Amino acid sequence: MNEHLTIYPIIVHLITAVLLLFFWKKPKIQRYISILGSTVGIVIAGMLFHRVWENGILSIQLGNWEAPFGISMVADTLAVTLIVLTNIVSFALSIYSTENMVSSRIKFGYYAIFHFLIMGLSGAFLTGDLFNLYVWFEVIIISSFVLLTIGGRKIQIEGAVKYFTLNMISSIIFLTGIAMVYGATGSLNMAELSRIIPEIENKGLMQTISLIFFIGFGVKSGVFPLYFWLPASYHTPPAAVSALFAGLLTKVGIYAMLRVFTLIFPLGETNQIILMIIAGLTMFFGGIGALVQKNILRVFSYLIICHIGFMVGGLSIFTQVAIVGAVMYMFHDIIVKATLYMMGGIMFRIFGNTKMEKMGGLMDNYPKLSFLFAIPLFALVGIPPLSGFWPKISLFSASYTANEIAMLVMFIFASLITLIIIAKVWNNVFSQNPESIETKSSFKYFKDFNFAEKAAYVVPVVLLVGVTLYYSFFAEHFQLIATRIGEELMNTEHYYNAVFNINEKTKL
């Protein structure tokens, strides 16, 4: 009975989405169903986390077909922690969307697609089968295409063309990799692959396949030469959609990298160097890109790219401490990046646009909001004791002990450049007053909102900032979780034993 819990996070959002489709034309009811569904999602995710934390890795064989033949769903600590965070973000966004999404967009099925996307994310985190991972990736990208184009403004369509093309190509590359793995090994079960691949003699072929996977996931997560779709499309949809994409979509690529490059193709020396160079360049170009942007949402887009480098860099060092750092950074990044775009939505409502030269004086006019916004911004820089600080300690110390000084320099460079960017944003948006504020007559400004509308915008931000603060002041909890994840990722036999139902006497 226990193991059924493994797939409930997927089922909850699937059922919610189907219910929402039944109420296609009734936006009001849809809002309540979505919030309810996300609440149940959090509860189930919490239960699953508790179970995995107490009893070790859970797995289930769909359709009762035994392990290497059927599709396995595996809930290890990394997957369930990400599912908990996903559900928290989805809950916050369900509330945020009630006001951020106009009814006409909801009538196009916004909420249903939103829950399909969350379902796809949960599936991608839970699956233990390579081809199934591809299927969940497709669920995610189909949903994200629809979310990106809902509303159909000119700029959205143009962003969607770029997003669509590169994501399609990345899926095709990923599928090519799967075909080659199947040809070489005759299996797609990740746990079984972790045993077959080391025994294959043709190391060069395995190297090539692993890099094909890296390109596929690299496009999705936005690493250096493959990120151009990201700043071209992330600022175009409404803030709720951007927040969802920023918080979770790029992290799925990172999750897939963490899984594939620890379990299936443990990083060799060559791959480590390739990943390191790419991580360094990602941080460099992401940072430089953010520095020159004038639209605040595009600044945030480049910051996403810049900080992807931390996670890829952590993975590339490939010691347990570094992986712990990368995983912790991922947790921090999911929450903070989602918050940033939600803040961007509120700023758009306050100033009427997102160009930095036309913003200003937030501190004078909205002191409480400014204080609220300051927390995620400073957490991003990593000012102690806020959440960005803790993973950076692990990453710095790991790169120092592994003697990867170049990596250490890049981490410090990226942190510094983030500081400069945040200082610039602070200067432009919060303190300095703009020369002239133009007011559009047909636009509903934040100050004209009634209390309920304001609450729908601000409460989710408060919620996520609360999570950030929890992370900041109780970082040892996350450290504990991440340490266990690092242990599970580096020692693949835990995963293998869970999938093939071999009893583990020694609990972690």
Partner 1 sequence: MEILLAIMTGILYAAGIYLILRRSLVKLIIGIVILGNGVNLLIFLMGGLVKGNPPLIPADGKMLEGVFADPVPQALILTAIVISFGLQSFAIVLIKRAYKVLKTDDIDTMNKTDDIK
Partner 2 sequence: MKSLILKTVSTTLLPLLILFSVFVLLRGHYLPGGGFIGGLIAAIAFILHAFANGLDQTRKLIRIHPGFLIPVGLAIAILSALAPVIFTGDPAMTGLWYEKDIAILGKIGSALFFDTGVYLVVIGVCLTIIFTISESV
Residues that bind partner 2 (CB under 8 A): 1, 3-4, 7, 11, 14-15, 18-19, 21-22, 24, 60-64
- In the complex with partner 1, the residue whose CB is nearer, 137 or 471, is 137
**What, of partner 2, partner 1, none, does residue 469 touch, CB below 5 to 8 Å by kind?**
none
Cβ-contact 296, 418 below 8 angstroms: no
Does residue 152 belong to the site contacting partner 1 (CB under 8 A)?
yes
Per DSSP, helices labelled H in 186-295 are 190-196, 203-221, 229-233, 239-244, 250-259, 269-292
Sign of the torsion formed by the C-alpha atoms of 285, 289, 290 and 291: positive
In the complex, the smallest distance separating the C-beta of residue 167 from partner 2, rounded to whole angstroms, is 20
Task: Residue 179: name its binding partner from partner 2, partner 1, none (Cβ under 5 to 8 Å by kind).
Answer: partner 1
Nearer to partner 1, 98 or 233 (CB): 233
Percent of residues in the chain assigned helix, strand, coil, to nearest 5: 80, 5, 20
Closer to partner 1 by CB, 82 or 188: give it. 188
Query: Which CB sits closer to partner 1, 295 or 320?
Result: 295
> By CB under 8 A, is residue 183 in contact with partner 1?
yes
CB 230 within 8 A of CB 224: no
Site for partner 1 in 223-262 (CB under 8 A): 231-233, 235-236
Residue found under tokens 């908990």: 84
CB of 370 to partner 1, least distance (A): 25
* Residue 157 within binding range of partner 1, rule CB under 8 A: yes
Query: Mind spelling out the 3-state secondary structure of 371-419?
Result: HHHHHHHHHHHCCCCCCCHHHHHHHHHHHHHCCCHHHHHHHHHHHHHHH
How far apart are CB 19 and partner 2 at their closest, in Å?
Answer: 8
End-to-end Cα spacing for the chain: 22
Cα distance between residue 192 and residue 107, in whole Å: 45
Residue 202 interacting with partner 1 (CB under 8 A): no
Instruction: Tell me which residue of 231, 225, 251 sits closest to 137, measured CA to CA.
Output: 251
Closest separation in Å from C-beta 209 to partner 1: 11
By CB under 8 A, residue 21 contacts partner 1: no
Residue 233 binds which entry of partner 2, partner 1, none, CB below 5-8 Å type-dependent: partner 1
Q: What's the rounded Cα separation, in Å, for the pair 466 and 185?
A: 47
Query: For residue 238, is the peptide bond before it cis, meaning its omega torsion is within 30 degrees of 0?
Result: no
Q: How many CA atoms lie within 13 A of 504 on its CB side?
A: 15
Among 11, 179, 273, 423, contact with partner 1 (rule: CB under 8 A)? 179
**Short-list 243, 225, 227, 224, CA closest to 235:** 243
Closest to partner 1 by CB, 285 or 390:
285
Of 15, 161, 211, 402, which lies in the binding site for partner 1, with binding defined by CB under 8 A? 161
Backbone phi and psi for residue 59, each to the nearest 5 degrees, phi listed first: -145, 155
Nearer to partner 2, 62 or 135 (CB): 62
* Tokens standing for residue 151: 């509303």
CB 114 within 8 A of CB 34: yes
* 38, 122 contact by CB (below 8 A): no
The verdict on 74 binding partner 1 (CB under 8 A) reads: no
Tell me how many residues contact partner 1 (CB under 8 A).
Answer: 42
258-317 binders of partner 1 (CB under 8 A)? 292-295, 298
In the list partner 2, partner 1, none, the entry touching 198 (Cβ below 5 to 8 angstroms by class) is none
Q: Which is nearer to partner 1, 302 or 430 (CB)?
A: 302
- Does 385 bind partner 1 (CB under 8 A)? Our answer is no
Which residue, 289 or 388, is less far from partner 1 as judged by CB?
289
We find the least distance from the C-beta atom of residue 63 to partner 2, in angstroms, to be: 4
Q: Does 160 participate in binding partner 1 (rule CB under 8 A)?
A: yes
Please report whether residue 38 would count as binding partner 1 according to CB under 8 A: no
Of residues 98-137, those binding partner 1 (CB under 8 A): 131, 135
Q: Which is nearer to partner 1, 152 or 367 (CB)?
A: 152
The string over 182-221, giving b where at least 16 C-beta atoms fall within 10 Å of a residue's C-beta and e elsewhere, is eebbebbbbbbbbbbbeeeeeeeebeebbbbbbbbbbbbb
- Tokens 């300690």 correspond to what residue? 393
Question: How would DSSP label each residue in 120-162?
Answer: HHHHHHHB-BHHHHHHHHHHHHHHHHHHHHTT--HHHHHHHHH
Q: What are the angstrom distances between the C-alpha of 415 and each of 32, 287, 338, 380, 388?
A: 41, 9, 19, 9, 10
Closest to partner 1 by CB, 142 or 372: 142
Applying CB under 8 A, among 26, 51, 107, 162 the residue interacting with partner 1 is 162
Nearer to partner 1, 151 or 382 (CB): 151
Residues forming the site for partner 1 (CB under 8 A): 131, 135, 138, 141-142, 145-146, 149, 152, 154-155, 157-162, 164-165, 168-169, 172, 175-176, 178-180, 182-183, 186, 188, 231-233, 235-236, 292-295, 298, 355
